[in-house]
Amino acid sequence: MPQFSRRFVAVSCTVLITLYVSRAGGVDGPTGGEAGRTVTTAEPPARLSASAAAGAEPGSGAGSAAGPGGDTGGDGKATGDQEAADPGVMGRSGLAEVAARVRVLAGLDIDAGQQPEGIAVEPDGSTVVTFAHTRQIARISPAGKVRVLATLPAPPPSAETPAVGEPFLGGIVRAGDGTLYVTYGTGTAELTGVWRLSPDGGGMRRIAVLPADGLPNGIALDSRAGQLYVTDSVAGVILRVPRGGGRAVVWSSDPLLAPDPAGFAGANGIRVHRGAVWVTNHDRGTVLRFPVTGSAEAPAAGRPGTVAEGLGEIDDLEFTGDGDTLLVTGVTDSRLLLIRGRDGGGGGDRDGGGGGASAGRAVVPVLDEDDGLRNPSALARDGARMWIANSAHYTLAEPRVLVMPVPRWAGRLTGDG
């Protein structure tokens, strides 16, 4: 979800406290294209190895891309060797063992504005993150060293980004060739949109214009169809943009994506997975699944289903493997939740999303603040490991990136065998 700087929180804390205590359609995509604005980078993004670049896509094991939205590409599941070598993977021993194996990859500097909003994984185990209000994209090495790759241009001082006030650098996704895509909201038509950072050090360019009166947030890549999907948390829509850039169109404006009338943000985290687009709704605490229909050139949104509900104020989601079991971040109360997938098929859920079955999937808390969570805003997975970006949005202390074994469902956790 959108994160605020401490200055913004200090100004608006009364409003936010009132909002959260009191709570127990579409937009035409404008014409987009290359804006031609280039930003100098400190270091080009890492490249895939030659073998991986030959055809590996995110999630294939050669290095997955997953930010607040990511295309898992291949199955992305841990192999038997990985699971045997990593006893923290959830099994009959339950969740305590997983929590015990969480470690801090990097402790970040909140005074420098290092509050991560989006995260993606690179082949060497590095992560790339967005720092929402410093407008920076940074790489964090496996040893925890932080290096800024690029800083997006600042809007005029008079500009006001919807819902958050300040410029907001949102989700990030990494393509198989090392290209990074991010969302950027500024309240101005000149800068709001999808931006691309090329792996050859060529700088950043805006590849699609997005509505200035919205808040672009999560981003996902469908690498096979060459499409990017973006959530607008204020408008409550999903936008679609060609991977190469161009005009953004509203892919879905279903009412299930809208913010709560007394709330703050609707559609938020997003993933492309198993022939569907999966989205969280921050205010409503729901996970939605939209089957992708139509052609690769013009994919359309099928009727959505509600996968899970009643989750509280949530942000991102990520899958634990090639099935439909997934993790969701509870951003306000610092929780990580495991939601059981359906065996086989695409996951029929309530409201007709792929089968019309009940949305009553089992939900198990995995981690909380005692395990090191500080308002987790994003997840990324590569094989048997999961990375968690902690924004410290409400704690205003200890922003950090954590890494842990991927938790996997064990039936005995709920007594269902």
User: pLDDT tens string for the chain (417 positions)?
Assistant: 554 444 444 434 433 333 333 333 333 333 333 333 334 334 433 332 322 222 233 333 333 333 333 443 332 222 223 333 333 333 334 566 677 889 999 999 999 999 999 999 999 999 999 999 899 999 999 999 999 999 999 999 999 998 888 999 999 999 999 999 999 999 999 999 999 999 986 789 999 999 999 999 999 999 999 999 999 999 999 999 999 999 999 999 999 999 998 888 999 999 999 999 999 999 999 999 999 999 888 899 999 999 999 999 999 999 999 899 999 999 999 999 999 887 533 344 554 444 333 366 888 889 999 899 999 999 999 999 999 999 998 888 899 999 999 987 654 444 333
Task: Assess contact for 56 and 69: CB atoms under 8 A.
Answer: no
Q: DSSP secondary structure string, 316-337?
A: EEEESSSSS-EEEEETTTTEEE
Strand arrangement of the beta sheet that strand 237-242 belongs to: 216-222, 227-232, 237-242, 249-252
pLDDT attached to residue 410: 53
Length of the chain: 417
pLDDT attached to residue 350: 52
pLDDT attached to residue 257: 97
The amino acid that residue 93 corresponds to is: S
Task: Assess contact for 267 and 284: CB atoms under 8 A.
Answer: no
pLDDT attached to residue 409: 67
DSSP 178: S
| Residues facing 376 on adjacent strands | 390
Which pTM does this prediction carry?
0.78
With CA atoms as reference, report the closest residue to 304 among 338, 281, 283. Answer: 281
Task: Assess contact for 368 and 374: CB atoms under 8 A.
Answer: no
pLDDT attached to residue 28: 37
Return the biggest CA–CA distance within the chain.
59
Write the CA distances from 186 to 148, 175, 217, 262, 313, integer angstroms. 20, 25, 12, 23, 24
Neighbours of 136 (CB within 10 A): 20
